[in-house]
Chain A
Amino acid sequence: MEVKDLKLLIKMITETDITEFEMDNSDEKIVIKRNQKMEYVQVAAPTVAYTTAPQMAVPAAAAPVAASAPAAVVETGETINSPIVGTFYRAPAPDAAPYVEVGQIVEKGQVLCIVEAMKLMNEIEAECRCKIVKICKENAQPVEFGDPLFVMEKL
């Protein structure tokens, strides 16, 4: 399936109440799952689309790949990335409430988390009004420069 068709398919599905969609044919398997407006698109397909392998053999080979292919998960939406190497903190103190939760709508300039590098605390702020779709790191986990910290949806 071509990318534009896949986009169309996702668009069609998101306009309905369908939360899970699975399509399996001889040379590719597509799984679309929706959760809290989060869209995972899982595509498992032979890398060479025009494979000439016998038709019968392909589904057998594709099925186990699909089952164990989380690498094919695509996060839709924009990410907020870490500007420094450091440690990710979701709250200002261990016993304090997290700055944000999944699904929360945050205003421009609102603090989302802290990334600490050698006693330099870097408060990461929302650059626009947006909805937090996913928190990509665990509290107190190390992060690299440019690592996605949040997936967000601009509002």
Chain B
Amino acid sequence: MLVLHTHNSMYPYSSLFFNPKPENNFSMGYQMHQKAGTILRLFREQDGFVSGEKISRSLNVTRTAVWKHISALRDAGYVIEATPSRGYRLVASPDILNIEELASQLHTSSIGRRLVCLSETVTTNADSFRLAEDGAVEGTVVIADAQSSGKGRLGRAWTSPPGVNLYCSVVLRPSIKPYEAPQLTFLSAVAVARAIELITNLKPEIKWPNDVLIQGKKVAGLLNEMSAETDAINFVILGVGVNLNMTFGQFPSDLRHPATSLLLETGQPVGRVRFTATLLNELDRLYTDFRSHGFALVREEWQQRCSANGRHVVVTDCGVEVVSGKYFGIDGDGALLVRRANDKIERILSGDVRVL
């Protein structure tokens, strides 16, 4: 795992990415970063100039210290205007997955309780799995700028170049039975669809169980992993990859299915921190409801967003056709229901779905 250092390595928060290895003193680093996060939050709360005095009061530090924090933020790529009589104004933010900026945009009860940002890793799922095994709290989120070996189902590759997309994994410890855990597959798909809609105004569709599509093209890849005993879940990892600002040339030529990015669909780059915060906020909302009321809300919203509504579907498994018929919704477990021509309902638990 690499830890990214920005240009100035003299300042405490020039290292904006954390290494989740236990030997790094995470809480120490986080305190220092919180100051930068507070400054960014002040900028966001107040359009325009924020006085140096206000910042120094909020941070409980001297005006000189404020100036040092501002310099460090500038070194990290923030463009901050300073005027002696009026104070500081944030002009532009870099599109880096900055932990304190992300933290300042979260309004969550459990998701993001602990944030780990990495410059590059093998897969965020593997990192969060390891952290969870070591006891990471529910809501721990691992985000990487790039993945060297991003994976989908059955070891399929998920292209994960740096600087453009979102790759993150969330540790959950739900008090449900292992056989109910697949319901979380639908929860993360709904959260991604909501985030895309909130950020871009695009209308994403979901294909069973959790492919998120725009105009039939795949924009997100979701893969969840579970560690469980026979009757109890240790933890579930929700893995989310969303193609935000990827360009044509960055997609591999041998894609199994047509793929796209939000930039390609809208022509507008998407701020990665803003998207990530929106996604985590939506995940938190859905998960909070799921914990107290179960699968009903997720199921209903998933069905509204399903691309197969009223359509004919063909389900194949390992290239062999399993069933063909009319899409008939999902049941209380999330299983796909398909009505054959003879009105018999088939219940599908695995396979690739093609919407005709």
Contacts and interface: CB of A to CB of B under 8 A. Distances in A.
Given A81-B230, A83-B229, A118 B178 contact: no
B6 to A, nearest CB: 35
B262 interface: no
Interface stretch (A27-35, A45-53, A91-99): A91-99
Given A81-B230, A92-B155, A120 B350 contact: no
Nearest to B210: A119
A101 interface: no
Contact of B350 (A93, A96, A116, A125): A116
B265 interface: no
Contacts of A94: 154-155
Contacts of B228: 83-84, 122
Interface residues of A, number: 25
A117 interface: yes
A59 interface: no
A59 to B, nearest CB: 44
A65 interface: no
Contacts of A92: 154-155
Contacts of A121: 153, 223-226
Contacts of A83: 178-179, 228-231
Contact of B178 (A84, A89, A93, A140): A84
Contacts of A118: 182, 185-186, 209-210, 334-335, 349-350
B95 to A, nearest CB: 29
A88 to B, nearest CB: 10
A120 B179 contact: no
Interface in B225-254: 225-231, 236
Given A84-B178, A85-B179, A119 B222 contact: yes
Most B Cβ at <10 Å: residue of A83, A116, A118, A127: A118
Contacts of B318: 140
Contacts of B50: none
A1 B154 CA distance: 49
Interface in B169-206: 178-179, 181-182, 184-186
A86 B210 CA distance: 16
Nearest to A96: B155
A151 to B, nearest CB: 16
Given A85-B349, A86-B349, A87-B350, A119 B230 contact: no
Contacts of B182: 84, 86, 117-120
Interface in B133-156: 153-156
A142 interface: yes
A94 B185 CA distance: 22
Given A119-B210, A119-B222, A142 B185 contact: no
Interface in A5-51: none
A119 B236 CA distance: 12
B259 to A, nearest CB: 17
B226 A122 contact: yes
Contacts of A81: 230
A84 B180 CA distance: 8
Given A85-B349, A123-B225, A116 B334 contact: no
B330 to A, nearest CB: 9
Contacts of A89: 154
Contact of A120 (B156, B226, B230): B226
A89 B225 CA distance: 14
A150 to B, nearest CB: 13
Nearest to B350: A87
Given A116-B153, A118-B209, A84 B225 contact: no
Given A84-B182, A122-B228, A123-B225, A117 B154 contact: no
A49 to B, nearest CB: 36
22 contacts: A83-B178, A83-B179, A83-B230, A84-B179, A84-B228, A85-B349, A86-B350, A89-B154, A92-B155, A93-B155, A94-B154, A117-B179, A117-B349, A118-B182, A118-B210, A118-B334, A119-B185, A119-B209, A120-B181, A121-B225, A122-B226, A125-B227
Interface of A: 81, 83-87, 89, 92-96, 116-123, 125, 127, 140, 142, 145
Given A84-B179, A125-B227, 19 more contacts: A81-B230, A83-B179, A83-B228, A85-B349, A87-B350, A93-B155, A94-B155, A116-B153, A118-B182, A118-B209, A118-B349, A120-B185, A120-B226, A121-B224, A122-B225, A122-B228, A123-B226, A123-B227, A142-B350
